[in-house]
Amino acid sequence: MKKVFITANLPGKSVDLLRRDFHVEVFPEERPMTRTELLKSANNAHAIITMLFDKVDRILIESCQKLCVISNCAVGTENIDIPYATEKRIFVTNTPGVLTETTADLAWALILSVSRRLVEGDSFLRDGKFIGWRPLLLLGVNVYGKTLGIYGMGRIGTAVARRAKGFDMQVIYHSRRRNKDGERKIRAKYVDFPNLLKESDFLVITAPLNDESRGRFGIEEFRKMKRTSVLVNVGRGQIIKEKELAFALKEGIIWGAGLDVYEREPHVEEGLLELKNIVLIPHLGSATQETRTRMADIAVENVILALSGNIPKNLVNPKVLGENKKS
Ligand code: DGY
């Protein structure tokens, strides 16, 4: 019987489906696996279902001689050495599409909680400090009618921008590729990167991590932004230089920030933890019951297809098809 190893407990019932035809092992603890544990458990698997914190590098791939498919339960796949997996004729799959709207909702949750100081307000009240309405109490900044800037107008960026209509906002964006469809449908205006920084009141990062986006936001960029602006990141942590962001927030170079992802996740820059004008949440972009269940279903389906000799639906490395696929 072929072995499927899953590095975390998944929601829903799809894992039961897998058990009908395969020997399934699941890492049972609610914490990321250590490197040693992962190397040991994945060793003789034909398929692994991985999370984005599992490093699937050359060494791991090399140690899994029977591996046919790496099914990442995420849309991002930067935790996997895709060129090497392709060279070893291993399918790599992801779970695109299903988390778009959920992540866009979360970007808006951050926009609103930073601009209206919701987290601060909640702590203030629980700490027994609410003694009555005061004209100067926890003043935020307006959202409606402002300019929303999107960095990375892919699926998630477009979904964030679409929601801006209800807030009567203007939408500008900067992306590696022009999104003409988005420009037409949501009346988003393409701008160059300096103008994105200069004109945005709310700048939301939804870009994936690549050579262009890595470290793109640092002190020089923050200095070009409005002092009243809010920066939100639901893309990838390494796009922002966290130490420099802490400095910019402390010095009032920008007004506030909301982060879901971190430069050295799960570590969070200490300077950020001390600040009140930032909302920090633990990578919850796709974290709803419906979406995480759907992601698990897709990750499982990709494994079933691959192990039964078919091409999985969400193939990230189609070049593997050109190679002589393992069966
Ligand atoms: C992904 O799938 O890449 C997301 O970051 C998970 O929430």
177-186 tens-digit pLDDT: 999 988 999 9
Structure token digits, residue 71: 């099914």
Average pLDDT over residues 236-260: 98
Whether residue 253 is contained in a domain is answered as: yes
Structure token digits, residue 196: 């994105």
Is 171 found in the same domain as 23? no
The alpha carbon of 287 and the centre of ligand 1 are apart by a number of angstroms equal to: 9
Is 246 found in the same domain as 143? yes
Instruction: Name the residue with the closest Cα to ligand 1, atom 2.
Output: 74
Please give the order of strands across the beta sheet that includes 3-6: 23-26, 3-6, 47-50, 69-72, 91-93
What residues make up the domain containing 70? 3-97+289-322
pTM of the model: 0.94
**Is 62 one of the annotated active-site residues of the chain?**
no
Query: At residue 193, does pLDDT exceed 90?
Result: yes
Please report the pLDDT score of residue 324 as a whole number.
46
Is 318 found in the same domain as 251? no
Torsion of CA 230, 245, 218, 111, to 10 degrees: -20
Is 250 found in the same domain as 272? yes
Whether residue 199 is contained in a domain is answered as: yes
What DSSP string describes 135-166?
TTTT-----TTSEEEEES-SHHHHHHHHHGGG
Whether residue 327 is contained in a domain is answered as: no
Is 173 found in the same domain as 297? no
**Ligand 1 in contact with 99 (CB < 6 A)?**
yes
Q: Give dist(CA 307, CA 40) in Å, integer.
A: 21
**Ligand 1 in contact with 208 (CB < 6 A)?**
no
Is 81 found in the same domain as 143? no
Whether residue 42 is contained in a domain is answered as: yes
pLDDT tens-digit readout, 49-63: 999 999 999 999 999
Q: Give dist(CA 303, CA 297) in Å, integer.
A: 10
Residue 145's contacts (CB-CB under 8 Å, 6 or more residues apart) are 167, 168, 169
Q: How confident is the model at residue 323 (pLDDT cuts 50, 70, 90)?
A: low
- Candidates 266, 226, 223, 270; CA nearest to 246 is 270
Please report the pLDDT score of residue 326 as a whole number.
52
**Is 242 one of the annotated active-site residues of the chain?**
no
Is 105 found in the same domain as 122? yes
Q: Identify the burial level of 142 via C-beta atoms within 10 angstroms of its C-beta, where 0-12 means exposed, 13-18 middle and 19 or more buried.
A: exposed
**Ligand 1 in contact with 80 (CB < 6 A)?**
no
What DSSP string describes 1-17?
--EEEESS--SSSHHHH
Q: Identify the burial level of 87 via C-beta atoms within 10 angstroms of its C-beta, where 0-12 means exposed, 13-18 middle and 19 or more buried.
A: middle
Pairing between strand 202-205 and 147-151? parallel
CA distances from 311 to 67, 90, 219, 300 (A): 15, 11, 45, 13
Whether residue 164 is contained in a domain is answered as: yes
**Ligand 1 in contact with 74 (CB < 6 A)?**
yes
Q: Identify the burial level of 118 via C-beta atoms within 10 angstroms of its C-beta, where 0-12 means exposed, 13-18 middle and 19 or more buried.
A: middle
Is 209 found in the same domain as 125? yes
- CA-based angle 314:320:322, to the nearest 5? 125
List the catalytic residue out of 236, 242, 263, 292. Answer: 236
Is 220 found in the same domain as 156? yes
Is 269 found in the same domain as 127? yes
With a pLDDT cut of 90, the percent of the chain lying above it is 97
Whether residue 310 is contained in a domain is answered as: yes
Query: At residue 248, does pLDDT exceed 90?
Result: yes
Whether residue 175 is contained in a domain is answered as: yes
Structural domains of the chain, count: 2
**Ligand 1 in contact with 154 (CB < 6 A)?**
no
Is 251 found in the same domain as 303? no
Please report the pLDDT score of residue 41 as a whole number.
96
Is 267 found in the same domain as 163? yes
Best residue for ligand 1 mutational test, from 75, 260, 292, 298 (most atoms within 8 Å of Cβ): 75
Whether residue 17 is contained in a domain is answered as: yes
- CATH number (domain holding residue 56): 3.40.50.720
Query: At residue 255, does pLDDT exceed 60?
Result: yes
- What is the residue-averaged pLDDT of the chain? 96
